[in-house]
């Protein structure tokens, strides 16, 4: 009888564990330098940002907080999926979706996004020959006026881990 209960308990644990997917993940939130980095690697790809906003983000990400742009900048992406090969180690690519448009980047740009997602706590997932990181509903608010104060504030991001 004990063996039957043990088997049932193990089956329940396996069924519960296999029923968990990335969509059940807790929403993520990062702030400070990690949020600025996440917004900084996505901003150049966004068609929703103006040229002035992209220039301001590039300056902030390059450690120049003395920028003429004063308004908060909101960097969003609907979905980001990055892949790095662990068999073909030359493979690095990310698909970044903004609304109905998807931008695909490769090489060092994809490597920067992949590494920044890891820094932000996006959990990796493996498949045959690849490692994946993905998130949805990215929304970063960057406030140049707060960043100018150099007190650690001014950059906040929220996202949903997984795709």
Exposed / middle / buried, residue 45 (Cβ in 10 Å: 0-12, 13-18, 19+) = buried
Note the helical H segments in the chain.
2-18, 32-42, 51-61, 107-119, 144-148
23 lies in some domain: no
Q: pLDDT, tens digit, for every residue of 91-145?
A: 999 999 999 999 999 999 999 999 999 999 998 888 778 899 999 999 999 999 9
The DSSP 8-state label assigned to residue 86 in this structure reads: S
The total number of structural domains that make up the chain? 1
146 lies in some domain: yes
* SS3 at position 156: strand
For residue 65, the number of C-alpha atoms closer than 13 Å in the C-beta half-sphere is 16
Q: Which domain holds residue 50?
A: 31-161
Model pTM above 0.85: no
5 lies in some domain: no
153 lies in some domain: yes
What band does 25 get if pLDDT is binned at 50, 70 and 90?
low
């Amino acid at each position: 009888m004990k063996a039957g209960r043990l088997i049932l308990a193990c089956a329940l644990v396996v069924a519960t564990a296999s029923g968990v997917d990335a969509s059940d993940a807790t929403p993520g939130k990062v702030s400070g330098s990690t949020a600025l980095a996440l917004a900084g690697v996505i901003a150049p790809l966004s068609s929703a940002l103006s040229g002035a906003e992209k220039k301001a983000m590039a300056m902030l990400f390059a450690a120049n907080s003395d920028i003429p742009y004063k308004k908060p900048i909101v960097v969003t992406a609907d979905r980001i999926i990055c892949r790095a090969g662990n068999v073909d180690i030359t493979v690095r690519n990310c698909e970044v979706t903004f609304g109905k448009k998807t931008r695909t980047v490769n090489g060092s740009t994809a490597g920067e996004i992949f590494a920044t997602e890891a820094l932000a706590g996006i959990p990796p997932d493996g498949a045959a020959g690849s490692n994946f990181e993905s998130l949805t509903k990215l929304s970063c608010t960057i406030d140049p006026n707060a960043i100018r104060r150099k007190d650690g504030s001014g950059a906040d991001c929220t996202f949903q881990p997984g795709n």
